[in-house]
Amino acid sequence: MVVSTKKALEGAHASAQAMRQINPDVVAAYPITPQTAIVQTFSQYVADGDVATEFIAVESEHAAMSACIGAAAAGGRVMTATAANGLALMWEELYIAASMRLPIVMSVVNRALSAPLNIHCDHSDTMGARDAGWIQLYSETGQEAYDNTIQAIRIAEHPDLLLPVMVMQDGFITGHAVELVEVAEDAAVKSFIGTYKPKYSLLDVDHPMTFGAWDLYDFYFEHKRQQTDALSKAMKVIVDVSKEFGRTFGRNYGIFDAYAMDDAELAIVVLSSTAGTARTVVKKLRQQGVKIGLLKLRVFRPFPAQELADALRSVKAVAVLDRAISFGSMQGAGPLFLETCAALYAAGAKAKAVNYIYGLGGRDVFPEYIETVASDLQQIAETGKVKSLVGYLGLRE
Amino acid sequence: MAKENATWREVNIAGMVFEPGCTVEYNTGTWRVNRPLHDMEQCTHCLICWVYCPDSSIIVKDGRWTEFDYDHCKGCGICASVCPVKVEKHVETGKAGKVIQMVEEQR
C-alpha cells in the first residue's frame, strides 16, 4: 500500500496538489472564484519549478479551453480548472473537446450561474454542461476531489474512451473548507497515472493527420453515434480504474456510494457535499428504526441508469435532491431527478419519486431539511401518493 | 477521406483524416459564386496571384502562369485584387481592368 501523508488542505488546494503530482504537459486557465485557489496554487508550483508544466495564462475561459484543445490535439497531457460563468464561456469548446476525443481533465468548483450575481455553490454550471459529452465525477470532500482528479487522468486517456473528464467539488463548502486530506507520495501518483502516449498527435510528423475536419451530412451522424458509444463504455473503465485505485491507495470508489441501502424502503439520492449532511440524518433515523438509505452519486455522466434503478429496486419512495433547476422542464424539476425518473421508468421500477430543489446560490442545507424530506418519504410510502412532485428546501415561502 | 457508406463502427475516430492532401480528391469549387478569368496574352507571369491564392488554385508550370484549378477555386477574388497588370481590353471579358477579372459564375 502506498504511503500517504495527512495534510490540512482546502478542497481546491487538494485538487492543486493532485495537479502538481500529475505534472501535466500543459495547463491553460483563467481565474474565477471559487476555482482561483486551484490555478493560483498551481501557477505557484510552476513558478517554483515544482512541475514541468507549460502554464498558459489566457485572456478568458473561451481561450483557456481552446488552448487546452490545441495542446491535447498536439498530444499533451492537459488540465485546466474553472467554475460557473467561466464554464459557461467554454460552452462551445466543451463540445469540441469531447467531439474531438481529447482526454482533457478539468476541475470544476461548482458555483451558481449569473444572474443575479452569486459566487456561492450550486450545480447549475456543470448541469448546464451535462450534454457536452464530458464524463462528470462529483466529489463530496476534498479527499474525493483529490482522488477523483488522479483517477480522471486514467479514465480520460483510456484507449476505449479518449474523452474529457470534469471533476467537481462544491464551491466554498468543499473548495474553501480545510479538512484532512491524505496526500500520497508523488512517486505513487506518477506510477498510477503512467506516461501518456497519445494515440493521435499533431506533432507526430511521421504520421500527418487532420483533427476537426469538415464533416457534413454524409459522416457527422456516424461520428456522433461513435461518440455516444465511447461514453457507454466509460462506466466499465471508471469502475476498473476505481478498483485499481482502491487496491493502490486504499480508498474505494464506485459509481455511487450506497449508505444503509440494503433493506431500505426509503431512499435519498444526492450529489457532492450535501451527502455528508444527509448521511448524518439517515444515521440518526436508522437508530430510530426508519428504513432509510442514501445514494450519493459519484458519476453523473455517463448516467448510471441501470445501476441506479437496480439499487432502488426494492425502495418504495425515493427523494432526489437537486442543487440546480432545469428551467422549463416538468414542473421545473432538477436534472438529477429527471434522469433518475427516466432510469426508474425504463427499468419498470415501482418506487414513487419526488424532487427537492435545495441550496441554490449557496443557501445552507440543514439536517432539519433532510428530516422533512424523510418524513415526506414516509408519508408517500404509506399512502402511495405524491402530494407535490417538486419541492424546495430552505426557500422562504 | 473516409470510404463512402462507412458505418459508425468503421469511420475514423472524431472524423480524423490520416492521409495528407486528400482535398485533391474533393471538389470544393462548386461553392464558387464569382469566377476569375485570366488573360494569357497580356499576363506578365509575375505570379503575385500564385503567392496570394489561399487555395493553391493558380497552377504554375516552369515559372509560367498555366491555369486556374476550378475544382478548388472558391472565387474569393484575391487574385483579381492583387493582380498588378492593367489592360485596356481583357481577352475574355472585353472590359478594361486587370489581367485577372471576376465575372458571375454561370451554372
**Tens digit of each residue's pLDDT (9 = 90 or more) over A78-96:** 999 999 999 999 999 999 9
Residues A385 and A241 both lie in one domain: no
Residues A328 and A190 in one domain: no
Model confidence at B2, in pLDDT bands (50, 70, 90)? Answer: low
Q: Which tens digit of pLDDT belongs to each residue from B81-97?
A: 999 999 999 999 999 99
* The predicted structure's pLDDT at residue B107: 73
- Interfacial A residues in 42-101 facing B (CB < 8 Å): 99-101
CA distance A211 to chain B (A): 5
Q: How many CA atoms lie within 13 A of A168 on its CB side?
A: 29
Q: Are residues A223 and A264 in the same domain?
A: no
Element (H, E) at B50: helix B48-52
Stretch 153-172 of chain A: residues touching chain B, C-beta under 8 Å: 162
- Whole-prediction pTM: 0.92
Q: How close is the nearest chain B Cα to the Cα of A86, in Å?
A: 26
CATH fold for domain B31-104: Alpha-Beta Plaits (3.30.70)
Do A242 and A355 sit in the same domain of this protein? no
Burial (CB count within 10 angstroms: exposed 0-12, middle 13-18, buried 19+), residue A267: buried
Residues A60 and B63: their CA atoms lie apart, in Å, by: 47
Q: Which residues of A touch B13 (CB under 8 A)?
A: 101, 162, 200, 226
pLDDT (0 to 100) of residue B3: 76
Q: What are the chain A neighbours of B4 within 8 Å (beta carbons)?
A: 218
Helix ranges (H only) for chain A are 11-22, 36-47, 61-73, 84-89, 91-99, 124-128, 142-157, 186-193, 220-249, 274-287, 305-311, 335-346, 367-383
Q: How many domains does chain A have?
A: 2
A152, A144, A108: which is closest to A126 by C-alpha?
A: A108
- A323: which DSSP letter? S
**ipTM greater than cut 0.90:** no
Interface membership of A104 toward B (CB under 8 Å): no
By three-state DSSP, how is residue A36 classified? helix
The reported pLDDT for the residue numbered B106 is 85
Cell numbers linked to A103:
482526454
Question: What's A112's domain CATH number?
Answer: 3.40.50.970
Q: Of A225, A249, A273, which residue is a domain's last? A: A249
Residue range of the domain that includes A205: 4-249
User: Is-contact A267 A293, C-beta < 8 A?
Assistant: yes
- Is A274 in contact with A321 (CB distance < 8 Å)? yes
Which cell numbers in the block locate residue B31?
Answer: 461553392
Confidence bin at B23 (pLDDT 50/70/90)? confident
**Which letter, b or e, does each residue of A356-365 get, where b requires 16 or more Cβ atoms within 10 Å of its Cβ?**
bbbbbbbbeb
State the residue for C-alpha cell 456561492.
A120
Question: Would you give the end-to-end CA distance of chain A in angstroms?
Answer: 52
Do residues A42 and A48 make contact, with C-beta atoms less than 8 angstroms apart?
Answer: no
Q: Measure the CA–CA gap between A293 and A314, rounded to whole angstroms.
A: 12
Instruction: Render each residue's pLDDT in chain A as its tens digit; 397 residues.
Output: 788 999 999 999 999 999 999 999 999 999 999 999 999 999 999 999 999 999 999 999 999 999 999 999 999 999 999 999 999 999 999 999 999 999 999 999 999 999 999 999 999 999 999 999 999 999 999 999 999 999 999 999 999 999 999 999 999 999 999 999 999 999 999 999 999 999 999 999 999 999 998 899 999 999 999 999 999 999 999 999 999 999 999 999 999 999 999 999 999 999 999 999 999 999 999 999 999 999 999 999 999 999 999 999 999 999 999 999 999 999 999 999 999 999 999 999 999 999 999 999 999 999 999 999 999 999 999 999 999 999 999 999 9
Q: Where residue A351 sits, what CATH number does that domain have?
A: 3.40.50.920
**pLDDT-based confidence at B24, cuts 50/70/90?**
confident
CB contact under 8 A, A207 and B18: yes
For A296, the grid coordinates are: 450519493
Tell how far CA A354 is from the center of its chain: 23
Cα–Cα distance, B91 to A61 (Å, whole number): 54
Q: CA-CA distance, A217 to A264, in Å (whole number)?
A: 49
A152-166 as b/e: b if 16+ CB within 10 A? bbbbbbbeebbbbbb
Contact A163, A135 (CB under 8 A): yes
Same domain, A202 and A72: yes
Which residues of chain B are within 8 Å of residue A223 when distances are taken between CB atoms?
A: 8, 11, 14-15
- Residues A148, A296, single domain; the answer is no
Chain B hits for A202, Cβ within 8 Å: none
Let me know whether A244 and A261 are in one domain. no
Q: What confidence category does residue B62 fall into, taking pLDDT thresholds of 50, 70 and 90?
A: very high
Q: Which residues of B touch A229 (CB under 8 A)?
A: 8
Helices (H) and strands (E) in chain A, counts: 13, 15
Based on the domain organization, do A346 and A269 belong to the same domain? yes
- Mean pLDDT (whole number) for B19-42: 91
pLDDT at B1 over 60: no
Among A231, A249, A267, residue at a domain's last position: A249
CB-closest option in A99, A210, A222 to B11: A222
Nearest CB among A162, A223, A225 relative to B15 is that of A223
The C-alpha atoms of residue A271 and residue A293 are separated, in whole angstroms, by 14
Which chain A residues have a beta carbon less than 8 Å from that of B9? Answer: 226
Grid coordinates representing A123? Answer: 450545480
Interface test with B, best of A104, A202, A211, A223 (most B CBs within 10 A): A223
